[in-house]
């Protein structure tokens, strides 16, 4: 081989190298959008706006608020039996008669009448009042109060659960957007590699296998990007559904995922014990069951009731015999005292069942407290672990990005194969997606801790 030919083939890779951009990876990264610059259709949606929309439209919250209104209506002294009942009764009956009367012996003379009108009218007022019923009405009134509180905490529990669901779904959209950006950046790098492999193949410094492998990897990254676009659409559909609006409605988000690193377990446990609506509901339910026992015991005591009434009767008789007209009024009263003596042991059975239900309610309260505290501790451990993983993945992502730049330069000058570069690139993509997942998992755990401790309303600005 002539010296000039040898020099040509030796210097050709350097010529191709010189024609390529010195910072191709950086250029690909610069071309990639960020959350702040990514084009998105639809109006901008912030997390507070999403929470406000969901709380205002959620069907279950509407149902809970309606049930709460019913409980407010039921919480009255009249419904508990403290007030008397007063009824008015009135009736009037009459008729038109034709008659002919004859008498034995012909005396007196026969009597005959046509179109004779007779009418009798009765008017009355009745007052009923329970003087004593074994303190049952006091227990009923307290029970109605507890049921109102129970409906209130159930409403709050659904509001907090909805807020947590909205926040988690919202940050899932952000996560899918970040993954989309990561896959888009990976596709840009694959495009840079494909262009380099094509140029090298055309000038004969690389094999066709290298070029075809670059094309396959580019197609693979393109398919991954398409799949991620579908994942983003699915996340938006889920969020739209939580917001009770058209699932296909487009919107934009600009928020990033930033997990709070300073949540402490003891304050969260204290807040859960004193504020969690599910635990409060269990406590109130036990109180309601205790009152059922008081009602069962009240049935053993005397029942004293009083009734009073006023009646007025008007009679008009045009028959020509008997009373022609009459007016009658009367005032009456009645006091009844009844004492249960024996009813087939049914009262005893009711009291025993009420005591058993009391034990059940106490066990349910204790179990609810235990389950909530266990969930809080498990979520807190997941939160701490996610923060540790997040710190590690931040470093891994930085190292992986640097490694891609080095591997690309080595691949460009022929010091490494396409397989080695693809492994480095795949590791970089995995490191970036793990970082995104660690951010999201830490945020999701944070949201769940806020929900369990019932501090989510304050922390999310509602």
The per-residue pLDDT for range 82-123, each reduced to its tens digit, is 999 999 999 988 777 777 777 777 677 777 777 777 788 899
Task: Report which of 183, 138, 187, 122 is spatially closest to residue 327, judged by C-alpha positions.
Answer: 122
Strands 111-132 and 303-317: antiparallel
Q: What is the C-alpha to C-alpha distance for residues 303 and 299, in angstroms, rounded to an integer?
A: 8
- Inter-residue contact 293 to 136 (CB < 8 Å): no
Chain segment 171-216, per-residue pLDDT in tens: 999 999 999 988 888 888 788 778 888 887 788 777 788 888 888 9
The single-letter DSSP state of residue 106 is: G
Q: Which long-range contacts (CB under 8 A, 24 or more apart) does 56-61 make?
A: 57/243, 57/244, 57/245, 58/158, 58/162, 58/244, 59/244, 60/158, 60/162, 61/155, 61/158, 61/159, 61/162
Domain 19-120+134-303+342-459 sits in CATH at 1.20.1600.10
Q: Model pTM?
A: 0.83
Cα 323 from chain centre: 75
How many residues comprise the chain? Answer: 462
The model's pLDDT over 250-262, given as tens digits with 9 standing for 90+, comes to 999 988 899 999 9
Q: Above 50 in pLDDT, residue 2?
A: no
Cβ atoms of 12 and 203 within 8 Å: the answer is yes
- 8 pLDDT band, cuts 50/70/90, is very low
Q: Across 188-323, where does the E strand assignment appear?
A: 251-252, 303-317
The answer to whether 446 touches 383, Cβ cutoff 8 Å, is yes
Mean pLDDT of 2-24: 39
> pLDDT tens digits, residue range 293-335?
999 999 899 999 999 999 998 887 766 555 667 788 889 999 9
Can you give the pLDDT at residue 272?
96
Q: Is the peptide bond before 108 cis (omega within 30 degrees of 0)?
A: yes
């Amino acid at each position: 081989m002539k010296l000039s030919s040898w020099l040509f083939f030796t210097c050709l890779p350097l010529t191709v190298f010189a024609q390529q951009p010195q910072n191709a990876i950086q250029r690909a990264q610069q071309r990639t959008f960020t959350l702040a610059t990514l084009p998105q259709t639809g109006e901008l949606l912030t997390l507070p706006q999403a929470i406000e929309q969901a709380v205002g439209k959620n069907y279950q919250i509407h149902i809970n608020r309606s049930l709460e209104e019913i409980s407010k209506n039921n919480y009255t002294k009249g419904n508990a039996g403290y007030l008397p009942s007063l009824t008015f009764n009135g009736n009037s009956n009459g008729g038109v008669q034709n008659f002919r009367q004859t008498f034995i012996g012909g005396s007196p003379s026969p009597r005959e009448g046509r179109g004779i009108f007779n009418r009798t009218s009765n008017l009355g007022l009745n007052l009923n009042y329970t003087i004593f019923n074994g303190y049952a009405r006091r227990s009923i009134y307290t029970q109605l109060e507890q049921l109102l509180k129970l409906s209130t905490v159930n409403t709050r529990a659904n509001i907090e659960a909805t807020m947590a669901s909205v926040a988690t779904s919202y940050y899932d959209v952000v996560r899918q957007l970040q993954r989309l950006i990561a896959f888009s950046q990976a596709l840009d790098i694959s495009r840079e590699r494909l262009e380099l492999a094509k140029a090298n193949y055309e000038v004969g410094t690389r094999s066709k296998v290298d070029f075809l492998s670059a094309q396959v990897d580019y197609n693979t990254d393109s398919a991954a990007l398409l799949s991620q676009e579908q994942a983003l659409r699915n996340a938006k559909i889920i969020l739209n559904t939580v917001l009770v609006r058209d699932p296909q409605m487009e919107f934009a988000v600009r928020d990033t995922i930033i997990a709070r690193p300073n949540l402490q377990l003891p304050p969260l446990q204290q807040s859960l014990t004193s504020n969690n609506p599910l635990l409060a509901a269990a406590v109130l339910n036990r109180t309601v069951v205790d009152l059922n026992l008081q009602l069962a015991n009240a049935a053993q005591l005397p029942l004293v009731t009083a009734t009073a009434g006023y009646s007025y009767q008007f009679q008009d008789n045009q028959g020509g015999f008997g009373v022609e007209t009459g007016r009658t009024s009367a005032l009456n009263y009645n006091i009844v005292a009844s004492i249960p003596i024996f009813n087939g042991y049914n009262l005893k059975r009711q009291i025993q069942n009420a005591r058993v239900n009391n034990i059940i309610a106490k066990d349910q309260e204790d179990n609810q407290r235990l389950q909530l505290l266990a969930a809080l501790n498990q979520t807190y451990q997941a939160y701490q672990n996610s923060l540790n993983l997040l710190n590690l993945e931040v470093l891994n992502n930085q190292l992986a990005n640097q490694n891609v730049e080095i591997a690309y330069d080595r691949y460009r000058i022929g010091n490494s194969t396409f397989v080695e570069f693809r492994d480095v690139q795949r590791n970089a993509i995995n490191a970036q997606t793990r970082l995104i997942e660690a951010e999201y998992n830490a945020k999701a755990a944070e949201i769940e801790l806020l929900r369990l401790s019932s501090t989510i309303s304050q922390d999310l600005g509602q």
